[in-house]
Structure 1
């Protein structure tokens, strides 16, 4: 594997020092440590990550799900793609232009190609299906790797990430705005919404369904679950719907900070009942290593920290969202370095180094009684998500993963995961994880670059006031 060559001796010395402090449980780095953490490696990491997503984008214009980079020759692309993968490709292209990695002509050409591809994709009820062939845009009904049947599905959270990417593309290239507006005019988030029913809040929770199989009459067959945990990535769909007016603002207050006391969950929560905007809300919290925080569902990094790459939760709600995000990162760091003693940290769903895919996390940080566990598998994208909160510790951890395991590839950036017990490094990069890496680096290198569409319009007039009212019991 190609080794990283861009870090100077001085940067390596600083990173090693930061690693030592992190292992010793040093105090959190100040926000101004972004420059001290090293802008040069961040930019180099971004350029390699951008190369990976560019290589994963087919001539048709869609970003594939994953890419095998284990060989010395051309990487091998998967056949399939999803709405999330396509969104990742869009915002990475915009980030590359905003950071001067590509020019305006390349930006327009790439975005136009992808928007044209999205216009050709089969849809239902205004939304996109979960799996397409990335090479021709056809709807997948059989899984390419196995031939197993695929029942076309409309996912609320995956559509949220494609809509996010389209909004960023339209913001970056005004010539695309009419076309993107036409694509989004039928994307009505109330399709996924079950209104609140005070007489039966179990059947009518005021939350979003996971999705629908639209091959049945009417709306189709719904998933058996709603997205009930607030501090998880589906809240992006909630924000989008509240912002465009297709979801009522009170929907935000019907999503659980923790499950209610007495319900089966990882930890019996503490907190209090409050009433906000006429909605009775259980403001619960967990305590992990002495820190009060709002848990995710499974305990992974991306559940908590993918959304604030785009929606400025810590800025609009510093006492609540800003505080819980920072404490969540500290919980992940402490688990890897102190509780489990791996010497490394950063746990989130990722490629299994030996092949396949699994959900990794810190069980104590999630509501699920048998939540995600770390298993000694570290994924670099989790450290990148931590950059806004613990920049020096994140850079030190990433540097150590490369130094000790060769996790960084000069061509395409960090491999998807590392088994810290066996030393096995994944052969793959995944579009979702690379997309998070690219967005996190863009936010560090040019704060707000990808956030403009989510600071204006309905986000400013409808979402921001909700976050300003938020009072987590932490």
Structure 2
């Protein structure tokens, strides 16, 4: 069966779930009813459930191996052994949050008992209630020693001194986990709330970040004391507590992972709703922005008094609102928590399935790797690298899909010629967690792709799928990363566990404030 998705009309213009017809199967972009996942389309059979159940159990085994027995904090990564794990000696709020929501999924799937889930969650949250953090904002520092809970003052590589940093996106993922836990695990609700209630995302919101625009942007984060090697801006956007030292960059694009922090801040009344429309869907189509690898197509629309350029990039007959790197992580990880495609059928309901289709067609038809799914992950040659479908990313350097870092650049029409409009791709690097993120939108193709990665490429060990594999050389990054394994668990929990992550995150204020906000928007995404 070919993996190419045929080009039938998207139905999201009518407000229904985005449907794309595939060869041999059709599937819904999202279902409004969590109990009827992919209603009217694909449903898992006994073999699918058994296969994914095994993957979930093995993935959970890697997360247990990462986690310190005394603190309940997971390491950032371990090597290939889950029986004698060598832990990284550092962790982050994102990693800790990932372990918490993975515990909820493991309980929901019956991998662990309710008693064990409560014990693990309580242990982790108790540790987090005691670790050093920025008390005025309730936010946590970027790096801790997972075995002691101490803040690191030397970088994770152990090579130089660092000034502890308080990241907006990392605290966003930790807060997201607390919001899942508080609803999914009643026995831990009080403890989760005691941490969540202190977290003020207003510390990151700079209302003056876009002069002349009615709302501002989120900062990347801040230091409590000024770092010796970086210029910062002293201030305090929240107006409570002493000043902090902000990094100068802001998150200025929409289709990227920091939108989870935006959603949380808006839902908690700490950031104005108009902020969502102050981020760029794609940068303007003028020659001032010709460093982009292609010129966007689209129209301008106004939401909450903000003019938004609803632009999109073109790839293989599709119009897609790009992420920065064209990777699955930026586009689809927030969707693990917010049912974006259902709540915003004219925007995310179009863009998410098209992003998946772009990855699938890139891997199978364009680059002809025979496999698909690209996202930042371990480099099979060592270290860490970024991977994506460069054609649907804004980064001019490109998130490549291969080890050769092949760059795609068709030029900026009317402003400059392209440097590589018709690239030849090399040794493609697929990242299994990307296929799991895609499973909501292309379940049959994702399961088949993963099964072949396991059986043909042998990128699988005692803790589940290894972090990445180069498809032509067969090089495998034989290690497990807490965040990537947590994305695997989150995706399985939604598709095979009744939307357990989405249901518990999006209850209450999230649904009341975020659903009507994002429902207003109409992307320029679609089919040519």
More helix by share: 1
Aligned ranges 1:72-471 → 2 under 5 Å: 74-124=84-134, 125-196=137-208, 199=211, 206-216=216-226, 218-262=242-286, 263=289, 264-375=291-402, 376-409=428-461, 411-471=462-522
Structure 2 Cα separation of the partners of residues 199 and 224 of structure 1: 15
CA contact (8 A) 1:29 1:392 kept: no
What's the secondary structure of 1:302's corresponding residue? helix
Provide the C-alpha distance between the structure 2 equivalents of 1:197 and 1:137, rounded to a whole number of angstroms: 34
RMSD, matched Cα: 1.8
The runs of at least 4 aligned residues of structure 1 exceeding 6 Å deviation read none
In the alignment, which residue of structure 2 is the partner of 1:64?
Answer: 75
Q: Tell me the secondary structure at the aligned position of residue 128 of structure 1.
A: coil
Per-residue Cα deviation, 1:285-332 (whole angstroms, up to 9, x for no partner): 111111111110111111000011110001111232011100001111
5+ residue gaps, structure 2, are 7-21, 28-37, 227-233, 235-241, 403-427
Deviations 1:156-184, CA, capped at 9 Å, x for gaps: 11101111111212222223222222212
TM-score by length of 2: 0.82
Q: Give the Cα separation in 1 of the matches to 2:83 and 2:61.
A: 15
Distance 1:205 1:462, change over 3 A: closer
Instruction: Indicate the residue corresponding to 2:33 in structure 1.
Output: none
Superimposed CA distance per residue, residues 65-94 of structure 1 (whole angstroms, 9 cap, x where no aligned partner): 00101x585121111000000001000101
SS at match of 2:54: helix
Separation of aligned partners in 2, 1:74 and 1:56: 10
Deviation, structure 1 residue 404: 1.7
Q: Does the CA contact (< 8 Å) of 2:75 and 2:482 recur in 1?
A: yes
Query: Does the 8 A contact of 1:34 with 1:444 survive in 2?
Result: no
Q: Measure the CA separation in 1 of the matches of 2:143 and 2:67.
A: 15
Report the Cα offset of residue 223 of structure 1: 2.1
Q: Partner residue of 2:524? A: 473
- Residues of 2 paired with 1:225 and 1:360: CA distance? 23
Q: Matches of 1:300 and 1:169 in 2, distance apart? A: 28
TM-score (norm: length of structure 1): 0.91
Number of residue-to-residue matches in the alignment: 451
Deviation at 1:224, TM superposition (A): 2.5
Distance 1:21 1:135, change over 3 A: same
Asked whether the 8 Å contact 2:91–2:143 carries over to 1, the reply is yes
